[in-house]
Structure 1
């Protein structure tokens, strides 16, 4: 089943991450936090966390439907285009800046939890967790063990909570092998995974309640901003995003037969395609932003203004769209090899 609404949500999350990174590198490279892009602050970083929740939901779905060659296909989705991106980033940075410093690159591109490494693309922390999730899920892709997957997710959730309060386990963007299993970022994945099994039990939902649950979801997202604890923050984010995903999943499963206006259909179709190509955009947007900002500041001696930020946004979206199309094409061809 193809989840149109979830792809649109994925596209929105990707756009949020791009806007957030423009602001972050505006501060880091341009030493400027006062232009019009300052409104795109920390909350838009939640787009990356939404990807993790959505991944948990979709992995539960794939396990539930006995998706064939699970681990091989997941690896083919992540690694080939990522490696191509790393090669392109190194090539262009050497061409533009003359050199690139990256110690232990051979370890960084494995996307394994190896602690504090310098990563070439700049978004690898989520991919490290994603690859770890795939590895965990692969144990439950057999008919014998799949029935225990939901139980495992609930058990894992409780182990993380206990570990947080008893052992004070850290939540790291660059985890090592000893810390990744108990990281509270896993709560996002677990929340999405459990949400799938709840959604699966709901039949013919009353759409009136969608608005109620959506309000609850946004309240949880707002409360996550004031939580002093990273554990509770991730729990609230995971639950809030899961509610949104379940609502949209049920809309796809039980579609409204009423037709939308033509221009709304075109916007929906555009959002869907944007979601389809979001992995490619996710891979290339940070290198595009940082190269444009560095050229502006260090080579052209120009301040990183709102105009430069807007140019970086347009180029990131344009480049990410076409790179995403290529990525999806490559993945579909590679996936055919393991059918």
Structure 2
């Protein structure tokens, strides 16, 4: 069962990242919408990722067939475009044309291909891939030992807190790695997993399911460093603040559990469209903003051009590459599952 409003939420996350990068690069509105605030969009991405993995798979039997289906479906959605962009970035960097991302040598390429490191916005994809394997552990416990999932999450979050989120990064024989990017995002993935585990069972009283809860989205800009009333260092740490985790988790909970599924602001065709192209939009928008910023035009026109070109590039990527590849993966998966079913029948 599709939760349609999640499409708009995914698109909103991508737009937050877009606006932040545009503000940082062009100093639009004196950079007040930048300063690393795109982290809040990525937090939404990771909570959505954990939620959907849990919602779609946690109730399924933990067996080789379903595990293969899970990995192929996840890989078919994320890997093709990521690998294409990484390889193109590497080739362009060798030609001294950094139109995409700076991957200057073979060892840096290996770091990206092994999901140990990510340049610029690519950092989030290795973290996502690591989450795919972490979820397998949760899935294995879900049938008869679901309590261990909560204990593991609690233990890891306490450990991260007392170890002050260890800055594990460096290189191995020149191959870069950055596990810190995975560790700092784990709490958001965990929250998504927990919410996904309870979405089908939790019966929210009708008097609490109100469209007005959509105003919780206003809490996100209130955490921007330029607008935040918070005076502690939490407003600058972002990823390392459990206070930020509490607020973002509350926003996510209200939008997913309390806002009705037919809310017109979250369930609409525009939200469906932006949500579908959000992944390619996320990966492609930054190079486009950098190129558009070289034009001698007003910042407002730069914003419009950057957005239109980013949407156009994302749409073309989705229709001509992502969707066909994902369809091919699903088709092969379906055929293999049918073959396995036929063999078992024999």
TM-score bracket relative to the smaller structure:
0.7 to 0.9
Q: Secondary structure at the match of 1:201?
A: coil
Q: What CA distance in whole angstroms lies between the structure 2 residues aligned with 1:95 and 1:168?
A: 40
Give the corresponding residue for 1:232.
Answer: 242
Q: Give every structure 1 segment of 4 or more consecutive aligned residues whose post-TM-superposition deviation is greater than 3 Å.
A: 35-39, 42-45, 87-101, 139-142, 144-151, 170-181, 207-225, 302-306
Determine whether 1:336 maps to 2:345.
no
Question: Please, what is the CA RMSD of the aligned residues?
Answer: 3.7
| Contact kept? 2:213, 2:255, Cα under 8 Å | no
Determine whether 1:41 maps to 2:63.
no
| Contact kept? 2:167, 2:179, Cα under 8 Å | no
Determine whether 1:134 maps to 2:132.
yes
| Contact kept? 2:169, 2:179, Cα under 8 Å | no
Please report how far the alpha carbon of residue 323 of structure 1 lies from its aligned counterpart in structure 2 after TM superposition: 1.5
Q: Secondary structure at the match of 1:113?
A: coil
Please report how far the alpha carbon of residue 147 of structure 1 lies from its aligned counterpart in structure 2 after TM superposition: 4.2
Q: What CA distance in whole angstroms lies between the structure 1 residues aligned with 2:331 and 2:184?
A: 35
Q: What CA distance in whole angstroms lies between the structure 1 residues aligned with 2:46 and 2:31?
A: 25
Q: Secondary structure at the match of 2:260?
A: helix
Cα deviation, 1:135-167, whole Å, max 9, x if unaligned, reads 11123445x6544456324432333224322x2
Please report how far the alpha carbon of residue 78 of structure 1 lies from its aligned counterpart in structure 2 after TM superposition: 1.5
| Aligned counterparts, 1:105-120, within 5 A | 105-110=108-113, 112-114=115-117, 119=119
| Contact kept? 1:56, 1:190, Cα under 8 Å | yes
The number of residues matched between the two structures is 308
| Aligned counterparts, 1:254-333, within 5 A | 268-293=268-293, 295-296=294-295, 302=296, 305-326=299-320, 327-333=322-328
Cα deviation, 1:101-123, whole Å, max 9, x if unaligned, reads 61323323325235xx6x2xx31
| Contact kept? 1:113, 1:128, Cα under 8 Å | yes
Please report how far the alpha carbon of residue 283 of structure 1 lies from its aligned counterpart in structure 2 after TM superposition: 1.5
* Structure 2: runs of 5 or more not aligned: 171-175, 235-239, 335-346
2:152 is aligned, of 151, 155, 161, to: 155
Q: What CA distance in whole angstroms lies between the structure 1 residues aligned with 2:317 and 2:213?
A: 36
| Contact kept? 2:288, 2:306, Cα under 8 Å | yes
| Contact kept? 2:169, 2:177, Cα under 8 Å | no
Q: What CA distance in whole angstroms lies between the structure 1 residues aligned with 2:31 and 2:139?
A: 45
Q: What CA distance in whole angstroms lies between the structure 1 residues aligned with 2:81 and 2:330?
A: 13
